[in-house]
Homo-oligomer: A and B are copies of this chain.
């Protein structure tokens, strides 16, 4: 099975657990709306690529780790889109949850997706109980306080914002968790994999800033110019278009070099170069070249 299919199948298993005649139907629909169809599934694909480079000796655990990080990412998107944050009408080319359903269901769907991520991990590790605690710890640190994505978002409520911590928590944390969890799912020591995730997270953040400044909103599936509108920091503002693209390229090189020794190091390096090639929409990459 291709890695994309493995991820979709693992997400389907997780979502199906939330669907029962005894549960409220609209919440189940909202959960499905939040997860399918996906975006690029960058984080779970990164997690899976690392696990495969480490031997992927327990594919059920790898699949759960990949699904869990995507569920956490989807949860963050649903809550970030709420009226009290970005007040976004569209996401991945569809109405956001609070627009398609209502605001209470958007809050609850985000909550339920966070819970589902940890449930997915717990359901998968019967055969390898020693791998559960590291995975839960990696993901809880990446999502919660003081340095996870919730903390990243919370910096926007501070009178003065620590830009380094803000970016690291808001985007870097989940990328670092993707690489660490991939290694942990395959039973490898995970801390050495953090550098790779952090570098890719920063590269992705710069790509996201570039898209926000210069992409076609229709192709992107969400509005552009949001950082300026909402007064959020943006790398293009700080470095200029060419400067930002240059930094992105240096981060990708550093990421590829940082990969720890493992059975599948060379194919992983190739996969990461391929993957980061899609960080920018084609036109934008050409425009910045």
Contacts and interface: CB of A to CB of B under 8 A. Distances in A.
Contacts of A31: 145
A102 interface: yes
Contacts of A169: 23
A101 B156 CA distance: 13
Interface stretch (A119-127, A244-252, A268-276): A119-127
A94 to B, nearest CB: 19
Nearest to A138: B122
Contacts of A143: 111-112, 115
B119 A144 contact: yes
A89 interface: no
Contacts of A20: 146-147
Contact of A137 (B102, B103, B119, B144): B119
How many of these chains are in the complex? 2
Interface stretch (A1-9, A77-85, A216-224, A281-289): A77-85
B26 A144 contact: no
Nearest to A110: B111
Given A130-B129, A133-B126, A157-B102, A111 B28 contact: no
Nearest 10 A/B pairs, CB to CB? A23-B146, A119-B140, A115-B144, A122-B136, A27-B154, A18-B145, A20-B146, A84-B103, A24-B154, A112-B150
18 contacts: A18-B145, A20-B146, A22-B146, A22-B147, A23-B147, A23-B151, A23-B169, A24-B155, A24-B158, A27-B150, A79-B107, A84-B103, A112-B151, A116-B145, A118-B118, A118-B136, A119-B144, A125-B133
